[in-house]
Amino acid sequence: MVDPAIAEGVRSVCARFDEDYWRRLDGVRGYPVEFVQALTEAGYLAALIPEEYGGAGLGVSEAAVIMEEVSRSGAHAGACHAQMYVMASLLRHGSTQQKEFWLPQIASGALRLQSFGVTEPDAGTDTTRISTFARRDGDRYMVTGKKVWISRVEYSDLMVLLVRTAPRDKVEKKTDGLSVLLVDLREAIGSGLTVKPIEAMINHHACELFFDDLQVPVKNLIGTEGKGFRVIMDGMNAERILIAAECVGDARYFIDKARAYARERRIFDRPIGQNQAIQLPLARSYAETELAHLMVREAATRFDRGEPCGEQANIAKLAASEASFKAGDLAMEVLGGYAFAREYHVERKWRETRLYRTAPISTNFILAHIGEHVLGLPRSF
């Protein structure tokens, strides 16, 4: 059982940053430096870091509560969530030396670990087909290639980067030959790494990355060379669980907004919430959100116990992203024309939550995973 004080504390921090703060940032594509700093100072972005390294020593279950509350407050959790889920790769597979060097700096806020470099233009969800290559040269790797839709690179000090260290056609299993590097962006940008921001529908600070013989010390290899798929999967499972928790928070945000408006808005001398066309969809949305929340808790609990949780993490992400999108669409319907006015904030949150039906893994790929790996059906792609 997660301590209720965690949710209360997060709500207290978020209350200092009202929705107008987020609307202003969205309008200028700004990054919430003050908000991220406040969460860091309160210790929430170091929740997963063990106490001996300056963190809170909590689990993904607690991290899920933190991210849910951030989203429910009306904040844009995408500005800071990577430090939570990327941490899983470093915590579970990093060496003692890596943890002793990096984790205290991340916990204190001296460094930000907010970027996860996986997606490529010609690979997408088929992670094993990435082509960004790291060639060993003495005590360093020389990285060449391209990544796309990598968020917060401009606002992070460190990035967990997935590369190939052996060609795909030279390994027995397609998941072999992948490796994970911790890249110090302070040194990399402008010295082998070029960053190009992407203009997008939401303020997610996404970028294209171009690697031209970027030098990364071999000591920054996380885990074993060629066995990085397992390393990255731990990060991806945590990512799906925490994104799902954010979606639950988004859904509750939309339901809160729609419920309040339905109580206050009167047409034909009665509140619109008295009409079944409003009331029943809201009730269904609430029920779907609660069901998604239970799946998030199950997936997070299994992750924290070290049990296999791929199935549960995927289902949680599927259920929560669908619940948040439906709740957002319903809020747009309930508020009517006012929903399109930026001062009501719903349209911004709707744009933000829509992303999660597509990323970090699309709904159809989750269904294909369930069909093949859970139901035992033939591979569909």
Q: Which domain CATH number covers 180?
A: 2.40.110.10
Question: Within the chain, how many helices (H) and strands (E) appear?
Answer: 13, 10
d(CA 356, CA 362): 8
Q: How many CB atoms lie within 10 A of CB 57?
A: 14
Tokens matching residue 54: 């300056």
Q: Do residues 221 and 273 share a domain?
A: no
How big is the CA angle at 242 (ends 241 and 247), to the nearest 5 degrees? Answer: 100
Among residues 176, 197, 227, which one ends one of the domains?
227
How big is the CA angle at 171 (ends 166 and 173), to the nearest 5 degrees? Answer: 125
Among residues 207, 227, 247, which one ends one of the domains?
227
Q: Do residues 370 and 297 share a domain?
A: yes
Beta bridge partners of residue 214, listed in sequence order? 143
What is the pLDDT, as a whole number, of residue 68? 98
11 and 75 in contact (C-beta within 8 Å)? no
343 has pLDDT over 80: yes
- pLDDT-derived band of residue 339, with 50, 70 and 90 as boundaries? very high
Helix or strand or coil: residue 372? helix
Q: Do residues 57 and 82 share a domain?
A: yes
- pLDDT-derived band of residue 293, with 50, 70 and 90 as boundaries? very high
Residues in the chain: 381
In the chain, the percentage of residues whose pLDDT exceeds 90 is 93
**Which contiguous run of DSSP H or E holds residue 126?**
none
- Please give the residue range of the domain that contains residue 15: 4-108
CA distances (Å), 260 to each of 68, 128, 336, in order? Answer: 20, 47, 14
Q: How many CB atoms lie within 10 A of CB 180?
A: 29
The whole-number average pLDDT for the span 334-350 is: 97
Q: Do residues 366 and 240 share a domain?
A: yes
Among residues 227, 255, 276, which one ends one of the domains?
227
124 has pLDDT over 80: no
Q: Do residues 15 and 70 share a domain?
A: yes
- pLDDT-derived band of residue 126, with 50, 70 and 90 as boundaries? confident
d(CA 3, CA 152): 30
Q: Do residues 134 and 190 share a domain?
A: yes
pTM score, whole prediction: 0.95
**Which contiguous run of DSSP H or E holds residue 31?**
none
- pLDDT-derived band of residue 308, with 50, 70 and 90 as boundaries? very high
Q: Do residues 201 and 66 share a domain?
A: no
The whole-number average pLDDT for the span 201-217 is: 96
Look at residue 380 and tell me if it is in a domain.
no
Helix or strand or coil: residue 199? coil
- Average confidence score pLDDT of the chain: 96
